[in-house]
Structure 1
């Protein structure tokens, strides 16, 4: 498939950042009594099913064993990330996991060097560090750390962050080999389908699947919204941008999501900005502006 233009890819990722920011508020509306692994699995499954008509009409369901294996690996990376996040949240705060997640784009830059050739990262390291520092300040919200996370929580979520960091570079590498000419819609469908299946499997040992009986109509409507806008649209935009923008630059848009959430608190909820938040917003804006301005399309060659 022909890659989208440089400008369109960046505009798409800007929309991605807005949708990710909005998803945090929507996710809070779903019942907390339902197992989060089950909820995430349902989100991924619903999103995948929405692609079925388009893929069926375009004959995009044809796939060989090597392609299925590649999608299974990518789906497993997604499932490992979400499973590690929810397990870590049982032992530490959302603030601490947010701080750890700020390292994911930097880890993605590392995986770029390992999995892809022609993707120099030296010119992107400084702006990414600036944006990461700004996102961390915004995550703190001026209140300080919520206690040091346990080594177990850091280890579990650290493994998940590594899985998420490897997702985009590995997707690009596989699209140059086993998944060549795969459209963003097909990539999104198969990866989310396998991710959902793995998450459902993770629910079995602990009996989390039983909490499905607690779902209400209101939960179902919010799940449908999350599946359409926070999952289907964001994964499609992500795969649309990969190949035109370097993977580490793509995932760095998560820093803008943190900024958008903060801006909503300021202008939507009328909260007074704190000095540390103003500094964080400045660092995110400066880092992302420099990163986007200096970004280039990565080479398709493999390392």
Structure 2
């Protein structure tokens, strides 16, 4: 795989944070009467097919049975996350799912400690926590009591967040041996394809495929947007950064999406920033800046 520089990896993750921020709201635009598992399966399948020509033109990563199994595991984690997101959005708001997603980097740090122990882990706890608290202040700034999510969507999306927290450290561990040398295009294609197969197979047994008749042109537009920008582009950027930056630092860029959404409200919707927003924005900025500077001297554990 072509080496990605430190600066390029972090620049790519800035774009990743912007795309993730937009995906929460785009997912909420898709028709709520359509089976969320079917929606996610179609989203991942479309993402994989877009990358197929690139894979065929640059097929320098031979597949083995163990490699396919590794991709299947990663595809199952993706299927769990995206399926849980669509299901949770049927019962709660995009803001509430974004709030819960702020826990993913801290979960990733815990899994990284188990799968990729390194001396730099302790130095990331404080800045990650600082950024997490700042992100929560930004997201919850205007919540009313009746906007709190119900227990079901919290549990459902909580499981999805655990799957997403596992994705980066498990992917990096696979890249050490069984998927060594696999480039971001191949990683994204096979992981998305397996995720789509799992979800669409489930739809066949559950009967969720029947709701496909309810798909409108508007739904297909948002699915195409999510497939191209919320799925394909973000996971290509993720795999591009994994191996250059520590897993927990990579995922910590999610805190920036809350900052980007808030800045959008300030600048384009002419909303006056509150004190909590200002404090949260500063905390996110300091936390991410500390993580970025610390990652320059720390390499991901590769054994």
What TM-score do the two structures reach when normalised by structure 1?
0.91
1:96 CA drift (Å): 4.2
Aligned to 1:295: 295
The answer on 1:54 being equivalent to 2:41 is no
1:233 CA drift (Å): 0.8
Residues 77 and 186 (structure 1), Cα distance of their counterparts in 2 relative to 1, 3 Å cut: same
8 Å contact 1:107–1:162 — kept in the other structure?
yes
Aligned to 2:44: 44
Aligned to 1:147: 148
Aligned to 2:215: 215
Residues 228 and 119 (structure 1), Cα distance of their counterparts in 2 relative to 1, 3 Å cut: farther
Aligned to 2:227: 227
Aligned to 2:67: 67
Q: Which deviates the most, 138-147 or 83-92?
A: 83-92
8 Å contact 2:102–2:132 — kept in the other structure?
yes
1:154 CA drift (Å): 4.3
The answer on 1:99 being equivalent to 2:99 is yes
Give unmatched runs, 5+ long, in structure 2: none
SS at match of 1:32: coil
Alpha-carbon separation, structure 2, partners of 1:16 and 1:236: 9
1:184 CA drift (Å): 0.4
Q: CA RMSD in A?
A: 2.1
The answer on 1:266 being equivalent to 2:261 is no
What TM-score do the two structures reach when normalised by structure 2?
0.91
8 Å contact 1:60–1:186 — kept in the other structure?
no
Aligned to 1:238: 238
Q: Which deviates the most, 140-149 or 158-167?
A: 140-149
Residues 181 and 300 (structure 1), Cα distance of their counterparts in 2 relative to 1, 3 Å cut: farther
Aligned to 2:253: 253
Alpha-carbon separation, structure 1, partners of 2:258 and 2:205: 34
Residues 196 and 61 (structure 1), Cα distance of their counterparts in 2 relative to 1, 3 Å cut: farther
Aligned to 1:12: 12
Q: How many residues align?
A: 301
8 Å contact 1:119–1:298 — kept in the other structure?
no
8 Å contact 2:19–2:234 — kept in the other structure?
yes
